Chains A and B, each alone.
Chain A
């Protein structure tokens, strides 16, 4: 469905001491803009992936955050279409959803994360 990967941004989150926690999730609403959700998440995403479809003008973005549950950190994703919050959840929720668009978005971002981690591992093996 997505043919062009525009950008992957990888940033170091968590340097500010701010935490994105389970209680913040209840404040998220469909249609929120990226700048509005950033106020709720209080921190920057660790990964951002932007897509565009060849046959459609819509642009999509997925942000991956580390959701903090008492120090236990797990990937948590926010997906936007044309800067409006479309869906949010753990990667397994994206994979489980009946909407193939969400399945594909989730799968792509997880693949990118795993590729990035594998590359980092290789770099670390050669000081």
Chain B
């Protein structure tokens, strides 16, 4: 049957991330301090994956968390020849790696943004002071739904 006369190698690419639930670094390159959360959402064209409020040093903060693309990896699998695929089958799968990325608002204005792992090395004194409370608040938020990447 003609249908079985396939090329020796069939490249099948499955892009897991086709329904892109993440944002990219290039999407946020025009973000500026003091933007509102609505302006940020307009730029990234997505609603956050998580949002929460927390208090630290008697100041209230609002946080929105997105998944940020940090890399890609491709794995290839070769399946030996079979009656249906006389030349064998090579399939490749591209996976997108992501990490939690936060936008921190104080009095409705963007105050800080970055990966969670950047919080403890911030040059901003206020960010350093509140970072532990922020991380703990996020852990509490995530505990009910699953994994926490930090």
Contacts and interface: CB of A to CB of B under 8 A. Distances in A.
B114 A74 contact: no
Nearest to B127: A96
Contacts of A90: 25, 29
B134 to A, nearest CB: 16
B29 A70 contact: no
A114 B26 CA distance: 11
Q: How large is the interface on B (under 10, 10 to 19, 20 to 34, 35 or more residues)?
A: 20 to 34
Interface of B: 24-26, 28-33, 69-74, 94, 96-97, 112-114, 123-124
28 contacts: A69-B70, A69-B71, A69-B72, A70-B71, A70-B72, A70-B97, A71-B72, A71-B94, A72-B69, A72-B96, A74-B26, A91-B26, A91-B29, A92-B25, A92-B29, A92-B31, A92-B113, A95-B29, A95-B33, A96-B33, A96-B112, A96-B114, A98-B123, A98-B124, A103-B32, A110-B29, A110-B30, A114-B30
Given A92-B113, A95-B30, A96-B33, 17 more contacts: A69-B71, A70-B72, A71-B74, A72-B69, A72-B71, A72-B72, A72-B96, A74-B26, A75-B26, A91-B28, A91-B29, A95-B29, A95-B32, A96-B112, A98-B123, A103-B32, A107-B30
